[in-house]
């Protein structure tokens, strides 16, 4: 494989990121080849040091998506970062994916619970206002004012629970991104040592 073939294969596997990013990345590698040649290295030696272009493209895309996830907090950016990182190794498939799915399920449960509690409180408070209308049909008596404020308390608890979930989600988001960065850098350093490369392109 020569330089042209290497860059073509790298370009082909960089799908999913913007054209501007791809242009900048390819320009960086063109420069790396030129610097290597100036230092007396052959194209073959440089290519060996860079490793498999397909794996290299996956690492670059993982880094790109992680940066975007840091800059723009959203479910789509974190999902892209996770699934790109998973593609780096089989170990990631059996470790990162299950953890990610467990976190998603746990957060869904927390938000569903907070919404349910809030809805119960709000609907109960509204219904308590109409308590005098059907009070005569009940065998037990309840203080409708106390009932109203009790449901207001339940609804407020649910709302606070929901807000707390938002902050907890942001915390998990940052921690999980931090782990993804560590994971990508670890795999990159491992592959560089294996190929004898020296490129440093940390997130």
Q: 92: Cβ–Cβ under 8 A, 6 or more apart, which residues?
A: 85, 86, 183
pTM of the model: 0.70
Tens digits of per-residue pLDDT, 22-42? Answer: 999 999 999 989 998 888 888
> Is the per-residue pLDDT at 60 higher than 50?
yes
Residue 89 domain-assigned?
yes
Residue 154 domain-assigned?
yes
Whose structure tokens read 């996830």? 69
Taking Cα atoms as reference points, which of 9, 179, 191, 183 lies closest to residue 103?
179
Q: 77: Cβ–Cβ under 8 A, 6 or more apart, which residues?
A: 65, 68, 69
How many structural domains is the chain composed of?
1
Residue 162 domain-assigned?
yes
Angle between helices 144-195 and 75-86 (to 10 degrees): 30
- The residue range of the domain holding 159 is 51-195
Reported as a pLDDT band with limits 50, 70 and 90, residue 16 is confident
Tens digits of per-residue pLDDT, 158-195? Answer: 999 999 999 999 999 999 999 998 888 888 777 666 55
Residue 141 domain-assigned?
yes
Residue 119 domain-assigned?
yes
Token digits of residue 116 = 């349910």
3-state DSSP call for residue 123? helix
d(CA 188, CA 136): 74
Give pLDDT, residue 10.
92
CB 17 within 8 A of CB 81: no
Q: 80: Cβ–Cβ under 8 A, 6 or more apart, which residues?
A: 16, 65, 68, 69
Taking Cα atoms as reference points, which of 199, 198, 176 lies closest to residue 66?
176
Tens digits of per-residue pLDDT, 129-160? Answer: 776 666 665 555 667 788 889 999 999 999 99
d(CA 46, CA 195): 10
Residue 167 domain-assigned?
yes
Give pLDDT, residue 194.
59
Residue 46 domain-assigned?
no
Token digits of residue 16 = 């999913």
Residue 127 domain-assigned?
yes
Give pLDDT, residue 199.
47
Tens digits of per-residue pLDDT, 91-128? Answer: 788 888 888 999 999 999 999 999 999 999 999 888 88
């Amino acid at each position: 494989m020569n330089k042209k073939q290497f860059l073509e294969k790298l370009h082909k596997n960089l799908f999913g990121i913007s054209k501007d990013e791809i242009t900048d990345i390819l320009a960086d590698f063109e420069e790396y080849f030129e610097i290597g040649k100036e230092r007396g290295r052959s194209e073959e030696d440089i290519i060996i040091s860079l490793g498999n272009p397909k794996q290299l493209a996956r690492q670059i895309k993982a880094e790109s998506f992680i940066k975007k996830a840091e800059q723009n907090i959203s479910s789509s950016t974190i999902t892209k970062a996770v699934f790109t990182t998973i593609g780096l190794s089989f170990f990631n498939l059996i470790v990162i994916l299950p953890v990610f799915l467990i976190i998603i399920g746990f957060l869904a449960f927390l938000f569903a619970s907070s919404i349910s509690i809030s809805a119960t409180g709000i609907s109960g408070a509204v219904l308590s206002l109409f308590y005098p209308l059907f009070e005569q049909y009940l065998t037990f008596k309840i203080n409708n004012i106390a009932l109203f404020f009790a449901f207001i308390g339940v609804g407020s608890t649910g709302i606070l629970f929901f807000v707390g979930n938002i902050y907890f989600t942001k915390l998990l988001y940052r921690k999980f991104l931090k782990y993804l960065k560590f994971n990508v850098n670890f795999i990159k350093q491992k592959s560089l040592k294996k190929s004898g490369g020296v490129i440093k392109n940390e997130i």
